[in-house]
A and B are shown apart, each in its own frame.
Chain A
Amino acid sequence: MDSAPAGRYLWRSQGHSYGGAALLFHWAVAFLFLAQIPLGYLTQVTESRPALQFQLYQWHKSLGFLVLALSALRLAWLWFDGRPEEAARASPLEKLMASVARITLYAATLLVPLTGWAIASASPLHIPSYAFNLVLVPPLPMAVSDAAEAFWSNLHAILAYCAAALAAIHIAAALDHHFRRKDSTLTRMLRTSAGGNPTKDGSPPMQR
């Protein structure tokens, strides 16, 4: 903020720093997406309590639609806002792996809720998707059958658990940067720095 055209770029990314909007999108999607993993698991282990299971399903669906909407907005914002330069010095291989992980996680935050939407759309139960009891989400135009529902359910679970594993690696990498390499990879995800201050590892800020 010190060198910043005060507050001018608070929501926009610049230099090596993420803007407030990018950070908000990141943490909102991250928190909701990770919360969905145990919630989705609980929907599968509460068959003996059908009322609770039904409620869990509705929360899971509602949060899933929220994740999908936020992820779509996040990508649109990324396209508009651009990405700041990498904060840490890294080998080409590390950069490649980081890019692949990031793109895969972006895709997962879209594909996992989309396959969930497909389950609701393909199910012969025809349970309406009424997100947070506020927004009626129409079904996707697709075949309705028990087999189709089972297919999308399996794909949804596989993608979700793979994404959870990737998210765990992503978190571990962030912690490695912070505690072992002591660079600003994690800290720049925790606060916005409108001036694009130099990072601890001395890499210069990007000039926009």
Chain B
Amino acid sequence: MARFRASTGVCGGLVLLSLAAIDCRATSAADPLEAAAGHYVIERGSEIDFMVAQIGGGGIRGRFPDFSGTFDIMAHDFSKSRVDFTISPASVAANQPRITNFLKSSAVFDAADFPVIRFRSFRVERTGPESARIDGMLTAKGRTLTQSFTASLVHLDGGGIAFHVVGSVYRAAYGMEIGVPIYSNVVRFDMMLKGHRS
């Protein structure tokens, strides 16, 4: 009898756990971003890549390995979600050392005088079940302008989340017009931002 009660208890527990899991999956399937609500710290394993096309084909590809940031996903009012992100332009790495040095120099990022590039969102708008448009202020080389990025959810588990974020920045507006029109005025960002709850 005692064995039966114990068995019943275990089964009941499993049933409850299963129901909870089903409920969780149902919530995720219905609204994955709402399920992802929380405060996240951007992980070092994220990738911040960019590309500037050049006339005749090809272009400059690079990445920023040094960055940090947080984001908050608000469960009940998604539009109040926030992103605060900084990049160290001194960490920029292109596919050629001389290009890397040129990007760090006063001709482009002027990393010595402007050591931080910052993006702070002021509006997040859902554009689909797993995507959003993020509007914010981007500060680079001493100039702050409105900038938009598009984020798509690519991974979500218990404590971690990953977004594919893309956006085009018109560099001349930030005093980085050098090389236009040989090199495009448009810098295409392609980022994989991974976050863990904190």
Chain A interface residues toward B at CB < 8 A: 49-51, 54-55, 58, 124-128, 130, 133, 136, 138
Contacts and interface: CB of A to CB of B under 8 A. Distances in A.
A53 to B, nearest CB: 8
Contacts of A55: 178
B99 A125 contact: yes
Contact of A128 (B96, B105, B182): B182
Contacts of B107: 50-51, 54
Interface residues of B, number: 15
B33 to A, nearest CB: 41
B147 interface: no
Given A54-B102, A54-B179, 8 more contacts: A50-B102, A50-B107, A51-B105, A51-B107, A58-B182, A125-B98, A128-B55, A128-B56
B54 interface: yes
A126 B95 CA distance: 11
Contacts, number: 36
Interface of B: 54-56, 58, 96, 98-99, 102, 105-107, 178-179, 181-182
A40 to B, nearest CB: 19
Given A136-B55, A136-B56, A51 B182 contact: no
Contacts of A125: 96, 98-99
B182 A124 contact: no
Contacts of A58: 182
Contact of A51 (B58, B96, B178, B181): B178
A54 B181 contact: no
A102 to B, nearest CB: 37
Contacts of B105: 50-51
A54 B107 CA distance: 9
A132 B106 CA distance: 24
B106 A127 contact: no
A130 B181 contact: yes
A133 B181 contact: yes
B34 to A, nearest CB: 47
Contacts of A51: 105-107, 178
